[in-house]
A and B are shown apart, each in its own frame.
Chain A
Amino acid sequence: MPTRDDVHAEVRQALAAVEDPELPVSIVDLGMVRGVTVSAGTALVELVPTFIACPALWLVESEVKQSVTRVSAVDECEVVWLEGGWSGSDVTEAGRRALAGAGLAVPAGDGTVVCPFCGSHDPSETSPFGSAVCRTAAYCQACQTPFEVLKVKRAVGGGAQSPQADPPRANGRTPSGVAEARWRPGGGRVP
């Protein structure tokens, strides 16, 4: 009979096997998993989306349920999406390495970006809109290579409502302190 800790560890392993469909990295290393509880054969997995409009949320949810219910002690898996709160700083070191291996950079906490190919600290943003809603496009002058950067959420306030406000720097700081509320991507809120 597996202990509660054993089951919990197995569920975490099952989650680690789920990759973001648009990024070559596990959802655990991407920092999308916020909580796991298992009770009476039902696993409750709490996730945060990287971006509200991410078209892959449905697929992530489906694959999480599929993977977690393969754990022998789990009969059902419920996924709860939490409102907001994800930022680049949630990506683990392993996640950063995996993304860098695919030519994707994750901004550091202070917003700086390092070229995933040569390690230069001075790449420039070429467009705030990349090949997916969660990415920006960048170019490294040092190794003359284009690459993409996970989009950080730009700070709000200090002139957000003012049309003449200067645009923020490309690598704006990630806001913090956003509390979380539960929601499902397709419909009703979780009580």
Chain B
Amino acid sequence: MPPPGPLPVGSAVSDALTGLADDELLTGHVLTSVAGWGPELEINIALSSMGQDEIGHARRLYALGDSEGEVDRMVYERPPAEFRASVLARTYPAEWELLLARQFLYETAGAARAAVLAGSCVDDLALLVAEMEHEERYHLDFWHTWLRTTTARSAGARDRVQRALDQMWPLATVSFLPERPGAVEEALGLPDGALQRARDEWISATHAACGQLGLRLCEGTPDPGLDRLDAMLSEMRYVYRTAPGRW
């Protein structure tokens, strides 16, 4: 295990951090964009608030390994091909049940992964992840509550949630691990295989949670047609392109 110290730069860890930050950024964009869909006005406030949290987390994760001023470049100027966002985070749901499935899987997976990363010997990362998770608990509760509420509303609603899970689950299962989990574990001082074990436990727990609601999680092939990264970046960067410069 490496001794406690600064974040290794230019490594599998940097790539993994960029991936986590990209996921938070895109998720923040999705949530703030759909504020207005909620079946109650309070829900719209919640969506907006969670979106702000995610964007703030993205900012911190980008900044962790980079110099001042780099965050703007990462968000507004980086070519889409350099984004390391997971396939789940690249989806841009067009209806409530898809949003619900995306966010339930995203938040539960994020919590499972964070529980491992918070044990890193890299203090900056461990502290940031722990701090983020205190805030993400509100999100986790929200999406779990709404999964139960929506599913229980009617047979039709449960069918729509099921179809949404059928689309999102194959994406979620391939989004959990970083590209090189072994290298990330070694650099962060994590036990060998810790991330894979966390993924396995998350899959079991998610099967159980959905089963309690009468929902199934089916194996499948991720649909590449759900990748909406370009559309999201186009929206996100519209004003920046129109009126470039520091604000």
The answer to whether B127 touches A181 (Cβ under 8 A) is yes
| Closest beta carbon of chain B to A88's beta carbon, Å | 12
Docked CA distance A143–B123 (Å): 47
Known A55-B52, A128-B138, A156-B134; contact A161-B111, beta-carbon cutoff 8 A: yes
A184 an interface residue at 8 Å Cβ cutoff?
Answer: yes
The answer to whether A178 touches B45 (Cβ under 8 A) is no
| Closest beta carbon of chain A to B64's beta carbon, Å | 7
Kindly list chain B residues whose C-beta atoms are within 8 Å of the C-beta of A153.
Answer: 131, 134-135, 137
The answer to whether B56 touches A160 (Cβ under 8 A) is no
The answer to whether A52 touches B53 (Cβ under 8 A) is yes
SS class, residues of chain B in contact with chain A = helix
A163 an interface residue at 8 Å Cβ cutoff?
Answer: yes
The answer to whether A83 touches B137 (Cβ under 8 A) is no
Stretch at the interface among B87-95, B158-166, B201-209, B231-239: B201-209
B108 an interface residue at 8 Å Cβ cutoff?
Answer: yes
The answer to whether A52 touches B141 (Cβ under 8 A) is no
Stretch at the interface among A62-70, A72-80, A130-138: A130-138
Docked CA distance A126–B46 (Å): 12
Docked CA distance A131–B53 (Å): 13
The answer to whether B56 touches A154 (Cβ under 8 A) is no
Known A51-B135, A52-B60, A186-B63; contact A126-B123, beta-carbon cutoff 8 A: no
> Which chain A residue lies CB-closest to B24?
A53
A residues 41-56 near B (Cβ < 8 Å) are 51-55
Docked CA distance A168–B134 (Å): 12
B82 an interface residue at 8 Å Cβ cutoff?
Answer: no
Interface size class of B (residues with CB under 8 A): 35 or more
Most B Cβ at <10 Å: residue of A53, A131, A157: A53
Kindly list chain A residues whose C-beta atoms are within 8 Å of the C-beta of B56.
Answer: 51-55, 133
| Closest beta carbon of chain B to A142's beta carbon, Å | 22
Interface string of A151-178 (1 = CB under 8 A from B): 1011111001111100110001001001
Docked CA distance A151–B113 (Å): 24
Interface string of B29-48 (1 = CB under 8 A from A): 00000000000001001100
Point out the residue from B60, B133, B209 that lies within 8 Å of A164, measured CB to CB: B209
Stretch at the interface among B65-73, B179-187, B222-230: B65-73
Docked CA distance A139–B233 (Å): 40
Kindly list chain A residues whose C-beta atoms are within 8 Å of the C-beta of B60.
Answer: 52, 183
Point out the residue from A157, A161, A188 that lies within 8 Å of B205, measured CB to CB: A161
Interface size class of A (residues with CB under 8 A): 35 or more
Docked CA distance A180–B202 (Å): 29
B residues 7-39 near A (Cβ < 8 Å) are none
Docked CA distance A162–B127 (Å): 21
A117 an interface residue at 8 Å Cβ cutoff?
Answer: no
The answer to whether B57 touches A53 (Cβ under 8 A) is yes
Kindly list chain A residues whose C-beta atoms are within 8 Å of the C-beta of B132.
Answer: 52
Kindly list chain B residues whose C-beta atoms are within 8 Å of the C-beta of A2.
Answer: none
Known A83-B124, A181-B124; contact A129-B49, beta-carbon cutoff 8 A: yes
Point out the residue from A154, A186, A189 that lies within 8 Å of B64, measured CB to CB: A189
Docked CA distance A161–B134 (Å): 12
B177 an interface residue at 8 Å Cβ cutoff?
Answer: no
A24 an interface residue at 8 Å Cβ cutoff?
Answer: no
The answer to whether B135 touches A53 (Cβ under 8 A) is yes
> Which chain A residue lies CB-closest to B116?
A161
Docked CA distance A161–B56 (Å): 21
> Which chain B residue lies CB-closest to A57?
B56
The answer to whether B130 touches A178 (Cβ under 8 A) is yes
Kindly list chain B residues whose C-beta atoms are within 8 Å of the C-beta of A151.
Answer: 138
Docked CA distance A132–B49 (Å): 7
Known A53-B57, A83-B124; contact A164-B205, beta-carbon cutoff 8 A: yes
Point out the residue from A83, A131, A133, A156 that lies within 8 Å of B133, measured CB to CB: A156
Most B Cβ at <10 Å: residue of A133, A153, A161: A161
Point out the residue from B68, B113, B134 that lies within 8 Å of A188, measured CB to CB: B68
Known A51-B135, A84-B131; contact A163-B209, beta-carbon cutoff 8 A: yes
